[in-house]
Amino acid sequence: MKSGGKKEVLAEYLLCLSLLEEKTSSLYQNLALKTEVPLTKSLLLSIAQDSAKHSTLLKGIAESLFPLKTPPKDCSKKLACIFGVIDELQKEITENKKLHMDELIYNLSILEGSLGEEYYILIQLKTLQYMVKGISQLYNVNLQETQDIQQHN
């Protein structure tokens, strides 16, 4: 386990999520620039601002848990699937002058589903940690090995 233990692992994951929100914000900003419909443009910019705000909050929480000297280098590997979706959408937005709304809506729904999945994984991780602690106390069983396995994945 790393020198900071559980807090460092959680802080690294939160920083990765912060980077993910930053990339999402950039995606929605670029999409808004390509949109001519005023209401749609304002909605996309609002989503971009929310993602930027989420990025800032996640980074603050991570730094409060465990101050890291350098950002995690393996975020792209840990979140490869979702980073890939964002990169593909960015490429599509950049390369195409005219976007097809039905295809774009479909791709954005995949993106938002993937974002939700990453946050769900974080919640499961914390829930499992509390369950292991509770089961260990309740049944006087040492489940530390299970926690260590979970930390290394």
Residue 106 lies in a domain: yes
Distance CA 21, CA 13 (A): 12
Is 107 part of any domain? yes
For residues 41 and 64, what is the distance between their CA atoms, to the nearest angstrom? 35
1 domain-assigned:
no
How many domains does the chain contain in total? 1
**Does residue 48 fall inside a structural domain?**
yes
Residue 116: inside a domain: yes
Do the domain assignments include residue 153? no
Domain extent, residue 95, equals: 6-148
What pLDDT, in 10s, does the model give residues 4-25?
577 788 888 888 889 989 999 9
Q: Report pLDDT digits (tens) over 46-63.
A: 999 999 999 999 899 888
- Rounded Cα distance between 130 and 55, Å, is 26
Q: For the whole model, what pTM was predicted?
A: 0.69
